Amino acid sequence: MELFKPEIGLVFWMFIVFLLLLFVLGKYGWPAIIKSLDKRAALIDKGVEYAQNAKEQLDSAKAEAEKIIAEGQRRQDDILRDAEKMRTSIIEEAKAAASVEAKKVIDAAQLSIEQSRKESELQFRNEVSAFAINIAEKMVRKDMANDKAQADLVDKLLNEVEKKN
Amino acid sequence: MKRILTILMTLVMLLAVAPFALAQSEAGSADAQKTEAQGDNQINPKKIIFAHLGDTYGWELPFTHDVRLPLPIIVRGNDGSWRCFSSARLMNGAEYEGFKIASADDANYPSKVVEMVNGTEYRPLDLSITKDVLALIISALVVLACVFSLVRWYRRNPMKAPRKGVGIIEVITQFVYDGVIVCTLGDKAKKFGPYLLTVFFLILFMNLLGLCVIFPAGANLTGNIAITMFLAVCTFLLTNLFGTKHYWKDIFWPDVPLWLKFPIPIMPFIELFGIFTKPFALCVRLFANMMGGHMIVLVLTLLIFIFQATMNSMVVTGATTIVSVAFSLFMLLIDTLISFIQAYVFTMLSTLFISLAQEKGEKEQVIESK
């Protein structure tokens, strides 16, 4: 069978072509390609490592930031609570001060009312006594004879007036 | 994608059927011619198939059957002198300086250049640039072009990944180098990598170019035993010339019970036999796969003509054409896959054989690790 007999000419040319190809590719082709591939792989590996580190740093920075934010929140809460406390205490104080002041005013008013009442009482009494003296004068003019009886009467009338008040 | 494939198939079938319909309509008028022609054009499938699978001295140009690209014939005649002349001088049985191409029916040297010395045929030392040799050179140039396009890309863009065509070369290179060679050979990858990669790419392109049926491709190179044998011998030499002491010890004094190797060396004999069967399997596997693929496509195509010759009915011929074209298209697609697989398998097994010969014994490994 022709197909199963290797032809010497083809083997000869295959030898030459293959060795030439192997020489050229082995010297200028494959080593350059493999070197480039290795270099690129190294670059990619480095890039991945770098990215991982960056991600870790970013994560830690994020955690840091969250911590700081939480701290700020806590402080804000404290400040707000303090302010609330201060506000209520100020209001309390103001209320206390106001009530003291009011009491003072009321006391003063009561005092003045008492005074004016006493004054008016005194005035009333003076007026009443003036009336009484007037009446007595009229009675005296009418009946000067019976002084004692008149005085008793005046006294009795005055007592009645006092009782009415 | 599916739709494109369907349209393509339909188109191919329509194109394939059309000439037959025309031929049939003319057949009636050319009845007298046909009876005459049948005597000459008796289809001999075996002859056609082997003519297509084998080597020739000229290269048939597409769309003709007679115009052949003349190729140089280089022979050393009986008198010891070298001759070089164009194959056009020997076409159609012509004789030139005592040389001629023997007929395809020749008993000793069918379709080969022979020298007539005193009336007897004599086969000269024939180093002609035949169709297969030219196809081999073209394949090698294609490999060179592909590899150097990648090298040039790296020189221009040192740290960028190539895209499209060059990207495919890179992907395949990496697939073979990282996936097979480095995995198996480890630190020896740099030493044997260039050979294995060259073998892979050369086989791949020879396979693929063999599937493109017209000039300047279409030679059945990897389906030629000379090519596969040469490659297998290369692997054989690399395996055994660079074999370690442990490798040879394992062959002649393997770690088996003494009775298996002492009085009668059964195991050493089997191991020694294995040295030769491994490359032989490499050679035959590639050869048979690629030749088989080509042969099936040829047979499927020939079916059309056989049915045409025997049945001579338009319906039968048309139906055969559709079926044949569909099947050969399918076979060619499978062959494309096989082209890649066979190149991969050859490289993988070569790597494996070489790496097995690189193995170190446990003792040596212990010493090295210390």
| pLDDT bucket at B87, cuts 50 / 70 / 90 | confident
Return the pLDDT at B36: 40
The Cα angle at residue A106 between residues A103 and A107, in degrees rounded to 5: 85
- Could you tell me which residue, A66 or B114, shows the higher pLDDT? A66
Distance from CA of A57 to the nearest CA of B (A): 27
| Interface contact flag, A14 B226, Cβ < 8 Å | yes
A2 lies in some domain:
no
> Is residue B19 scored above 50 in pLDDT?
no
Mutate which of A1, A2, A20, A35 to test chain B, going by most B C-beta atoms within 10 A? A2
Instruction: Tell me the CB-side half-sphere exposure of residue B79, using CA atoms within 13 A.
Output: 9
Q: What is the mean pLDDT of residues B240-247?
A: 86
Token pair for A74: 């806590």
Judging contacts by C-beta atoms under 8 Å, the chain B residues touching residue A37 are 170, 173-174, 177
| Interface contact flag, B133 A25, Cβ < 8 Å | no
> Is residue B135 scored above 80 in pLDDT?
yes
> Is residue B33 scored above 50 in pLDDT?
no
Judging contacts by C-beta atoms under 8 Å, the chain A residues touching residue B194 are 22, 25-26, 29-31
CA distance B24 to B6: 27
Q: What is the mean pLDDT of residues A15-39?
A: 91
> Coil, strand or helix: which one is A2?
helix
| pLDDT bucket at B368, cuts 50 / 70 / 90 | low
* Segment B17-24 long-range contacts (CB within 8 Å, at least 24 positions apart): B17/B318, B17/B321, B17/B322, B20/B304, B20/B308, B20/B314, B20/B317, B20/B318, B20/B321, B21/B314, B21/B318, B24/B314, B24/B317
| Interface contact flag, B125 A2, Cβ < 8 Å | no
> Is residue B27 scored above 50 in pLDDT?
no
Mutate which of B84, B105, B148, B221 to test chain A, going by most A C-beta atoms within 10 A? B148
> Is residue B9 scored above 70 in pLDDT?
no
Domain count, chain A: 1
| pLDDT bucket at B365, cuts 50 / 70 / 90 | low
A15 touches chain B (CB under 8 A): yes
For residues B282 and B222, the answer to whether their CB atoms sit within 8 Å is no
Judging contacts by C-beta atoms under 8 Å, the chain A residues touching residue B155 are 32
Distances in Å between the Cα of B136 and the Cα atoms of A23, A78, B57 are 16, 88, 14
**Amino acid at the residue B80:** G
> Coil, strand or helix: which one is B70?
strand
CA distance B35 to B242: 66
A125 lies in some domain:
yes
A163 lies in some domain:
no
Q: Where are the alpha helices (DSSP H) in chain B?
A: 2-27, 31-40, 45-53, 131-156, 164-176, 183-185, 189-211, 225-241, 245-252, 266-310, 314-357, 362-369
Judging contacts by C-beta atoms under 8 Å, the chain A residues touching residue B130 are 9-10
Token pair for B167: 């990207």
Residue with tokens 């002609």, as numbered in its chain:
B128
For residues B128 and B111, the answer to whether their CB atoms sit within 8 Å is no
> Is residue B159 scored above 70 in pLDDT?
yes
> Is residue B38 scored above 70 in pLDDT?
no
What ipTM was estimated for this complex? 0.82
> Is residue B12 scored above 70 in pLDDT?
no
A74 lies in some domain:
yes
Taking alpha carbons only, the member of B149, B295, B116 closest to residue B220 is B295
A50 lies in some domain:
yes
- pLDDT above 90 covers what percent of chain B? 22
Return the pLDDT at A103: 94
Length of chain A: 165
CA distance B127 to A10: 7
> Is residue A1 scored above 80 in pLDDT?
no
Q: Which residues is B75 bridged to in the sheet?
A: B83, B126
Mutate which of B147, B221, B289 to test chain A, going by most A C-beta atoms within 10 A? B147
The pLDDT mean for chain B works out to 81
A47 touches chain B (CB under 8 A): no
Return the pLDDT at B201: 93
Domain locations in chain B as residue ranges = 72-128, 132-369
Interface of B with A in 260-319 (CB under 8 A): 291
Taking alpha carbons only, the member of A36, A28, A30 closest to residue B155 is A36
| pLDDT bucket at B363, cuts 50 / 70 / 90 | low
Judging contacts by C-beta atoms under 8 Å, the chain A residues touching residue B159 are 39-40, 43
Taking alpha carbons only, the member of B346, B54, B202 closest to residue A4 is B54
The boundaries of the domain holding residue A66 are 9-158
- B54-70: b or e for each residue (b if 16 or more CB lie within 10 Å)? bbbbbbbeeeeeeebeb
pLDDT digits (tens, 9 = 90+) for B285-335: 999 998 898 889 888 888 888 888 887 788 888 888 899 999 989 998 999
Return the pLDDT at B285: 92
| pLDDT bucket at B336, cuts 50 / 70 / 90 | very high
